[in-house]
């Protein structure tokens, strides 16, 4: 094709037809970024315009050149105010990326040039139209009458001139049409600052705050604009693609693939077209957000607006990820009502416009492998958005991200021992990427059943009652994440190894324990990353032990008459991380087993005593795990024991021998390996409190330091069966339990006696775990 200076005679691929309704007066609103684009629009009109139609073309500032200052053509306002009712038809020229492997996506050379082929300069447009005209497309947005737009303008919550309002509606209509060509992965907001700051309700909200701060509203509006600029994401399609390519490069350094079910993404796509979505992932690695972000991009879902800590806003990471959808939040702003109001307004705006959100309910990464207690602040903003009528419903998406192995597990173990956390920086980022050069297996992404906020939330509640309601919803999300977290071969292997303590296992012993665990998982139909029966084979054991040995967690001794496997001396916390990712699946059984041991200890005969012990263990562990509501929890305990004996309650009534027989039928017992590290850690703290003067001024950090020292002493003396009990996180939760029982306040009555009772309770729990270990060992020896 040879082009002349005028390209209006060029016919583009898949040109739109003239709208059927546009038969009389028509105003074509186009946003050309060049003379060439203007000519392409004019050529289309000349070919398609009906003879009797009166058409006027008015240009608005181009969407791809918003950084440059462009004034809206004054003819638009004049035309809208003329009094007739023309059809408003938005038109735009779109440039596509070159097709590569069946997909129009950016290539490495595009990234290296830092030029987006979908936003070409004038010369590139000429060359593209000559050499690859299929990359140029003309699109039309949904047409509307001037009367319809005028009515929408009058009802709008934003305060702006009508020509600006119509220009925005034209832009947005064209963006929707353009997404049909480019994909939903580029569904991003366009006018965040303008639409929030110009709302009457926003200014009214500032007016309510102003008297508290003694500042004029105009000054607060300017400050709000600065806060919004600090917080809000600023998407760029080019950077979205650039970062997606970078994510794939990064994760492929250490991982083979991200495994997921594509039908789940299809379901989320359809749900997201109807309602706002909030993705709430588990948080175990710095890769978590990148994994979800890439998976959404790969499946053509819109990018999430992701809440990030201000600590991640360092160069060059901060400016880059902000343009992919991350918005940054200060660590603390409770004493800044203006900042809080701006953040709340931003969240409500995104929900109203159905842009997906993402944050970590846990707040930070789990250093122990199990999920952390949820934080409710952002979820409370979502609840307020529903109450304020911003959306009829919001669906929370429980998201489980699981790794065969995690690169950070060594640093997590160090922090558990009391060492400091490395500060995020550019140097830290480079070190993190370099450390991925080892092989870590695969990554597994699963979505739980969505939670409907409208169904779960009582919008009539406020204050403390609303906080309780939001907390229940958060716990439900955490439970659903746990339910879909898949069991990995690594996690089961660490269960078997940690159950042995410092004892090395022969291949036969390891295979026997793994076989029982695999059967237990199969009986309960628990989720897994792959068929776990592979662990019943020598090759499967060699593979999983070899990977653990490669990462320095397991040592394999092969020079003796039997090959033995053992946790490396200082790696119990690292191994416990993997074990703890699946511990929730065995928690109810473990609690029931301890309650059965207590019942056997008392001679049996009293089922109510069993339930009392179940409640006591649930209370002891409430700062570690998420439990269902009390009635549902008791039903779960009943169902767990019914797997082994449907008449288990009769066994308790018949006495200690019958209870012990029931315990021997549970293969393998879960309590010894699932609960010992937690109970022993709590005992360390309890004995530290027991020996402290009751009238001393409380200092939590000093107590934690002493507990770490005491725990290490006990470990060296082998007074602790589980070396992973010496954990700062576990000690911190033990102090939360002590505070809950009013054992830290020096003014509390009978403090010394109640601290002794606390320690005695935990010693009793440890004795029962030892009793259960004995039963399990005797059963194995008998078998």
The 3-state secondary structure of 468-525, one letter per residue: HHHHHHHHHHHHHHHHHCCECHHHHHHHHHHHCCCCCEEHHHHHHHHHHHHHHHHHHC
List, in sequence order, the alpha helices (H) in 275-357: 288-298, 317-322, 337-352
Query: Do residues 440 and 403 make contact, with C-beta atoms less than 8 angstroms apart?
Result: yes
Query: Do residues 8 and 43 make contact, with C-beta atoms less than 8 angstroms apart?
Result: yes
Indicate the range of 13-22, 193-202, 327-336, 378-387 predicted with least confidence: 13-22
pLDDT for position 71: 80
List, in sequence order, the alpha helices (H) in 189-236: 192-197, 200-213, 217-231
Peptide bond into 668 cis (omega under 30): yes
Closest-CA residue to 307 (of 282, 286, 330) = 330
- State the DSSP string of 437-474: TS----EEEEE---EEHHHH--TT--HHHHHHHHHHHH
Does position 769 have pLDDT exceeding 50, yes or no?
A: yes
Report the sign of the C-alpha dihedral through residues 621, 625, 628, 632, in that order: negative
Place of tokens 């306002």: 77
pLDDT digits (tens, 9 = 90+) for 497-533: 999 988 999 999 999 999 999 999 999 999 999 999 9
Does position 282 have pLDDT exceeding 80, yes or no?
A: yes
> What is the distance between the alpha carbons of residues 310 and 155, in angstroms, rounded to a whole number?
37
Does position 436 have pLDDT exceeding 90, yes or no?
A: no
Peptide bond into 580 cis (omega under 30): no
Band (2; pLDDT cuts 50, 70, 90): very low
Band (156; pLDDT cuts 50, 70, 90): confident
Read off the pLDDT of each residue in 543-549 and give the average, rounded to a whole number: 96
Indicate the range of 36-40, 424-428, 656-660, 728-732 predicted with least confidence: 424-428
pLDDT for position 721: 94
Does position 486 have pLDDT exceeding 50, yes or no?
A: yes
Query: Do residues 479 and 361 make contact, with C-beta atoms less than 8 angstroms apart?
Result: no
How much of the chain exceeds pLDDT 70, in percent?
A: 97
> What is the distance between the alpha carbons of residues 541 and 497, in angstroms, rounded to a whole number?
12
Query: Do residues 106 and 97 make contact, with C-beta atoms less than 8 angstroms apart?
Result: yes
Read off the pLDDT of each residue in 372-383 and give the average, rounded to a whole number: 94
Does position 386 have pLDDT exceeding 50, yes or no?
A: yes
pLDDT for position 1: 43
- Phi and psi (nearest 5°) for 270? -70, -40
CB within 8 A of 748, min separation 6: which ones?
A: 742, 754
Angle, alpha carbons 171-175-177 (nearest 5°): 120
Closest-CA residue to 49 (of 30, 26, 82) = 26
Read off the pLDDT of each residue in 410-419 and give the average, rounded to a whole number: 91
pLDDT digits (tens, 9 = 90+) for 647-691: 999 999 999 999 999 999 999 999 999 999 999 999 999 999 999
Place of tokens 């309601």: 469
Does position 598 have pLDDT exceeding 60, yes or no?
A: yes
Does position 85 have pLDDT exceeding 70, yes or no?
A: yes
Does position 435 have pLDDT exceeding 80, yes or no?
A: no
How much of the chain exceeds pLDDT 90, in percent?
A: 76
pLDDT for position 482: 97
When the pLDDT of each residue in the chain is averaged and rounded to a whole number, the result is: 92
């Amino acid at each position: 094709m040879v082009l002349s200076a005028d390209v209006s005679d060029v016919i583009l691929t898949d040109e739109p037809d003239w709208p059927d309704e546009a038969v009389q007066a028509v105003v074509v609103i186009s946003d050309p970024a060049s003379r060439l684009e203007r000519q392409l629009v004019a050529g289309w009109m000349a070919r398609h315009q009906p003879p009797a139609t009166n058409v006027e073309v008015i240009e608005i500032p181009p969407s791809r050149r918003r950084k440059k200052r462009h004034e809206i053509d004054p003819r638009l306002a004049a035309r809208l105010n003329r009094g007739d009712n023309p059809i408003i038809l938005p038109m735009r020229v779109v440039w596509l990326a070159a097709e590569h492997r069946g997909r129009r996506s950016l290539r490495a050379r595009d990234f290296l040039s830092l030029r987006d082929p979908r936003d070409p300069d004038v010369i590139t447009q000429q060359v593209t139209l000559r050499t690859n005209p299929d990359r140029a497309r003309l699109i039309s947005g949904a047409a509307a009458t001037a009367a319809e737009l005028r009515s929408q303008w009058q009802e709008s919550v934003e305060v702006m001139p009508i020509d600006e309002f119509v220009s925005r509606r034209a832009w947005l209509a064209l963006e929707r049409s353009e997404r049909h060509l480019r994909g939903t992965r580029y569904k991003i907001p366009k006018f965040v600052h303008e639409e929030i700051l110009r709302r009457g309700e926003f200014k009214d909200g500032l007016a309510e705050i102003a008297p508290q701060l003694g500042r004029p509203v105009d000054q607060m509006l300017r400050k709000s604009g600065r806060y919004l600029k600090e917080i809000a994401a600023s998407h760029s399609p080019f950077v979205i693609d650039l970062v997606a390519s970078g994510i794939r490069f990064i994760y492929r350094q250490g991982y083979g693939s991200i495994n997921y079910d594509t039908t789940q993404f299809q379901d989320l796509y359809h749900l997201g077209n109807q309602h706002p979505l909030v993705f709430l992932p588990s948080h175990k690695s710095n890769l978590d957000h990148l994994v979800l972000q890439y998976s959404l991009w790969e499946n053509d879902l819109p990018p999430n607006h992701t809440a990030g800590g201000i600590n991640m806003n360092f160069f060059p990471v901060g400016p880059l990820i902000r343009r992919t959808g991350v918005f940054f939040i200060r660590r603390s702003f409770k004493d800044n009502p203006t900042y809080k109001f701006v953040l709340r307004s931003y969240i409500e705006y995104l929900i109203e416009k159905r842009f997906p959100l993402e944050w970590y309910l846990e707040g930070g990464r789990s250093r122990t492998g199990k999920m952390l207690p949820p934080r409710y602040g952002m979820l409370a903003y979502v609840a307020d958005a529903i109450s304020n009528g911003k959306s009829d419903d919001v669906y929370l998406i429980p998201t489980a991200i699981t790794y065969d192995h995690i690169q950070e597990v060594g640093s997590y173990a160090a922090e558990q021992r009391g060492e400091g956390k490395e500060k995020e920086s550019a140097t830290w980022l480079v070190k993190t990427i370099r450390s991925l050069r080892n092989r870590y297996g695969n990554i597994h992404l699963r979505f739980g059943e969505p939670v409907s906020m409208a169904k779960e939330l009582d919008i009539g509640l406020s204050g403390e009652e609303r906080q309780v309601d939001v907390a229940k919803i958060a716990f439900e999300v955490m439970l659903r994440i746990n339910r879909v977290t898949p069991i990995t071969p690594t996690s089961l292997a660490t269960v078997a190894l940690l159950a042995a303590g410092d004892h090395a296992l022969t291949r036969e012993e390891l295979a026997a324990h793994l076989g029982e665990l695999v059967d237990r998982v199969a009986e309960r139909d628990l989720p897994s990353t792959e068929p776990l029966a592979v662990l019943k084979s020598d090759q499967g054991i060699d593979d999983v032990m070899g990977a653990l040995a490669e990462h320095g967690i397991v040592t394999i001794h092969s020079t003796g008459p039997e090959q033995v496997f053992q946790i490396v001396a200082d790696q119990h916390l690292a191994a416990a991380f993997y074990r703890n990712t699946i511990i929730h699946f065995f928690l109810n059984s473990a609690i029931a087993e301890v309650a059965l041991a207590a019942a056997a200890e008392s001679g049996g005969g009293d089922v109510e005593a069993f339930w009392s012990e179940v409640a006591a263990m649930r209370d002891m562990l409430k700062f570690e795990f998420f439990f269902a509501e009390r009635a549902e929890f008791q039903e779960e305990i009943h169902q767990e024991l019914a797997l082994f004996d449907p008449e288990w309650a009769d066994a308790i009534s018949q006495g200690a021998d019958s209870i012990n027989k029931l315990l021997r039928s549970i293969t393998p017992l879960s309590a010894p390996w699932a609960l010992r590290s937690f109970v022993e850690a709590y005992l360390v703290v309890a004995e530290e409190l027991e020996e402290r003067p009751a009238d001393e001024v409380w200092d939590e950090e000093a107590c934690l330091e002493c507990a770490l020292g005491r725990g290490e002493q006990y470990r060296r003396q082998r007074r602790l069966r589980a070396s992973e009990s010496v954990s700062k996180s576990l000690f911190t939760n033990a102090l939360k339990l002590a505070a809950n029982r009013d054992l830290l306040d020096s003014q509390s009555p009978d403090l010394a006696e109640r601290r002794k009772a606390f320690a005695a309770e935990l010693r009793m729990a440890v004795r029962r775990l030892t009793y259960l270990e004995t039963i399990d060992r005797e059963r194995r020896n008998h078998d």
